[in-house]
Amino acid sequence: MDEKVTAKPDQAAIASPRRSPTQQRSRERVERMLAAASALIAEQGSDAMRMGEVAERAGVSIGSLYQFFPDKRAIVWALAERYTAESQACIATALKDVRDAEGMKRAFSELVDIYYQLFLAEPVMRDIWSGTQADKALRELELADSRANAEFLVAVLKRLRPHADPVELETTAFLVWQMGEAAVRLAISVDREEGDRLVAAYKRMALKEFVGE
């Protein structure tokens, strides 16, 4: 696990509520803790998860667990940071070479599909999202992540529409990204057939805004 996630401008004031491991052995121990927590969350949800269960499944003492994660919130935070870093890397790779409308349609559509499939496949991600709604600091982390992801879209839009107002592009990208997250979360809350239709409808609306189609 990387010891830290690159901070975004809007995230500068958000401090992770956990100690970061500095040695290889400590990093490996933290990996086991997070893997154990992720499995428990998938099985029973974060509300039901107990710190003692995490320690037992990870094969560490409860004291060792508390060294790095003082409470369940810190574990959820660490998992959120991990998914944030992974999603940003995926988005950056998908959009970095987009130079035309066709490339934008293809890359954006694939990204939305990947995001949707991740939420369908990973109950931990759904649980983390639910947790962010009741935790102000986690909401701020998620908002900072959304702004950073929108910036990848802004970079593409500036290439496609070089004469457009940059502030308007930033506003559009941020709003469309937020709508996408909401659309996916709605899609996973209904049956799969309807969810697929909702995601397809969102992609059509977003691409119409981005490339006029």
Least Cα distance to 66 among 79, 55, 78 occurs for 55
Helical H runs in 69-165? Answer: 72-95, 101-121, 123-132, 136-160
Q: Which two tokens stand for residue 69?
A: 């994660």
CA distance 149 to 205: 18
Specify the DSSP class assigned to residue 70: S
Give pLDDT, residue 7: 40
pTM, whole model, 2 decimals? 0.74
pLDDT 10s per residue in the chain (213 long)? Answer: 333 333 444 443 444 556 666 678 888 999 999 999 999 988 888 888 999 999 999 999 999 999 999 998 889 888 888 888 888 888 999 998 899 999 999 999 999 999 898 888 877 777 777 666 667 777 787 888 889 999 999 999 999 999 999 999 999 999 999 999 889 989 988 999 999 999 999 999 999 999 875
Angle made by CA atoms 86, 175, 196, in degrees to the nearest 5: 65
Least Cα distance to 87 among 125, 123, 55, 59 occurs for 125
CA distance 112 to 185: 12
From the CB of residue 156, how many other CB atoms can be counted at a distance below 10 Å? 24
41 in Cβ contact with 14 (< 8 Å): no
CA distance 186 to 198: 8
Find how far residue 188's CA is from the centre of its chain.
15
CA distance 209 to 160: 12
